[in-house]
Amino acid sequence: MIPVLEFNISARYGARAVLHGVRGSIAAGEIVSLVGLSGSGKSTLALALLRLLDYRGGSVTGTILLEGRELTTLSSKEIRAIRGRRIGYVPQSPASALNGKLKVRTLLDETWRAHRAGRPDGDFYSGLLERVQLPGTTDFVQRRSGELSTGQGQRLLIALAIMHQPALLLADEPTSALDAITQAAVLRLFEDLNRRLGTAILFISHDLLSVASLSQRVDILHEGRVVESGTPADIFLHPRHPFTRDLVAAMPRDPLPRES
């Protein structure tokens, strides 16, 4: 079976190298987490896979195969036809990703028209919103996105990302701006989408607890290189690389106070 995603890339900003021969693959229906500290190259990798790094002044070399198709050689027009349709993207902050002046209905319409003509069936939007635990009511879709809570905004970003049922969902620190309760709800939402739709997910995070609860496989990114890869049990119970051991050692072990 051809993996949904395979890549082997290096990336730089001018003379500064950020990623050094980073390899990875994701099978259909698999959830893989990429873990690293700030500055390790996580967001650079996400932008590189989306073919957006050049808009930030960066450059990429290597190969990126999505469903067996090489992305690095595609024209801007060709990659726009794929981005959003076969690979969905969930950024970390709805405040910066959504135009707060636009109504939810407008954002849904714009995302639909990016890849399809006309309008969807009458109940399509309500079903999509309910799938991500948002109300599919007329009142809700008429609200401006800036009026939504952070958790509602994040769910809306996920709805927009899965509208065209992509083969791969790339989530870049999607819970970092959320409180603990909303964070747990969004993680359950990713699990549900993966189970019901079979969507492969690349979950990029620095939060080891979230990664441990969600992933089937974990890659550790350190200074622009993947230094360790394995199941959550491998990574958290038997870390091999010194950096991974330091990460695991820093995880909270018993956050609840003991009774005296």
- For residue 16, the cross-strand partners are 13
- State percent of the chain over pLDDT 90: 74
Q: pLDDT of 151-198, one tens digit each?
A: 999 999 999 999 999 999 999 998 887 888 888 888 999 999 899 888
- One-letter amino acid at 49 equals L
Q: What is the pLDDT of residue 24?
A: 93
User: How confident is the prediction for the chain on average, in pLDDT?
Assistant: 91
Q: What is the pLDDT of residue 121?
A: 86
User: Is the pLDDT reported for residue 31 higher than 50?
Assistant: yes
Q: pLDDT of 115-143, one tens digit each?
A: 998 889 889 999 999 999 999 999 999 99
d(CA 23, CA 241): 17
Every domain of the chain and the residues it spans? 5-94+166-249
Region 14-32: what's the mean pLDDT?
Answer: 95
Which helix (H) or strand (E) covers residue 5, if one does? strand 5-13
- For residue 221, the cross-strand partners are 226
Q: pLDDT of 207-257, one tens digit each?
A: 888 888 899 999 999 999 999 999 999 998 999 999 999 988 887 765 434
d(CA 167, CA 162): 9
Q: What is the pLDDT of residue 157?
A: 96
**Chain centroid offset of residue 260 CA:** 43
Cβ(89)–Cβ(66) below 8 Å: no
DSSP reduced 3-state for 208? helix
Beta strands in 14-144 (DSSP E): 16-26, 31-35, 58-66, 69-70, 87-90
Say how many C-beta atoms besides its own lie within 10 A of residue 71's C-beta.
23
Question: What fold characterizes domain 5-94+166-249?
Answer: Rossmann fold (3.40.50)
d(CA 189, CA 154): 11
